[in-house]
Amino acid sequence: MDAWFAAIRDFGFKDVIDILFVAFMIYYLLLLIRGTRAVQLLKGVIVVVVVTMVSSLLNLSASNWLLNRIIEIGLFAIPVVFQPELRRALEQLGRGSLWNFNLLLHEEPNMVHTVNEIVKACQVLAKTKTGALIVLERQTGLNEYIETGTRLEARVSTELFINLFIPNTPLHDGAVIVRGTQIMAAGCVLPLTENRNLDKQLGTRHRAGLGITEQSDGVSVIVSEETGQVSVCVDGVMHSHLDEEALNELLMKLVVPQKTSALSFWNRKAESR
């Protein structure tokens, strides 16, 4: 009993800070892995650790030895098997608003122009049911995907978007990647989504548009050649059946820099999943 009172008496301000910091890191980690395969991994790890502790308390030597070997192997296997999830988590941490020190970003007019041109192009492509996939680069660089296509480095325009996706032309198949006010490349190859719960009717274009947003913070705009419907993917979530007004509003919110303070780290946007 005296030991408990001594521990409480020695509990100081630094210990409170330490506990709050650990709690915050655990909470942030859970936010990063939410909606990924890593959630199931975490459940499995908890089960193995609990069973290992029980076997140790019951002095089950053989079981405890086997479970400890499993944990040791898992420490090496987890980073390999879940490399995409770990990469995504680190990228999200690196591009967090904590690092955005600009109080006023000067690129807003340019991005407004880019969004307007994309929205107008999508309306034309949707009416003719011409399939299209446009990816807007944000903070995470997409050079590795740009290199898989044909470099253009042309100024964004509605007419160019429409021409790039005309069927049976050299660059119509694949994605167009946009950086700022420039169309960097066309005919780019993107990673497909790993989400197995998608509608089976969604084709490769939609799966690629969703996949790139799982690997980066890019925003993809998709026009279906079957239905002419326009969709937007961001952070592994697809927003479908967007009309002109909804598409413009969503893209403005996602890619046009907002005039916010660097202290907005605590105002984390809760995107619906």
pLDDT exceeds cutoff 50 at 260: no
The average pLDDT across 155-177 equals: 92
- CATH T-level fold of 108-255: YojJ-like (1 (3.40.1700)
Q: List, edge to edge, every strand of the sheet that includes 230-234.
A: 150-155, 182-188, 175-179, 132-136, 219-223, 230-234, 237-239
Which is nearest to 132 in space by CA: 253, 247, 237, 214?
A: 247
Which is nearest to 189 in space by CA: 143, 137, 148?
A: 148
Express each pLDDT in 5-61 by its tens digit.
555 566 677 778 888 888 888 887 777 666 555 666 777 888 888 888 888 888 888
pLDDT exceeds cutoff 50 at 101: no
pLDDT number for residue 9: 60
Give this prediction's pTM: 0.64
Give the integer Cα–Cα distance in Å for 228 and 234.
20
Tell me, what amino acid is at 113? H
| 115 Cβ contact list (under 8 Å, min separation 6) | 248, 251, 252, 255, 256
Q: Where in the chain is the domain with CATH 3.40.1700.10?
A: 108-255
Q: Are 221 and 213 in contact (CB under 8 A)?
A: no
Classify residue 35 by burial, with Cβ atoms within 10 Å: 0-12, 13-18, 19+: middle
| 239 Cβ contact list (under 8 Å, min separation 6) | 231, 232, 233, 250
Higher pLDDT, 95 or 102: 95
pLDDT exceeds cutoff 60 at 261: no
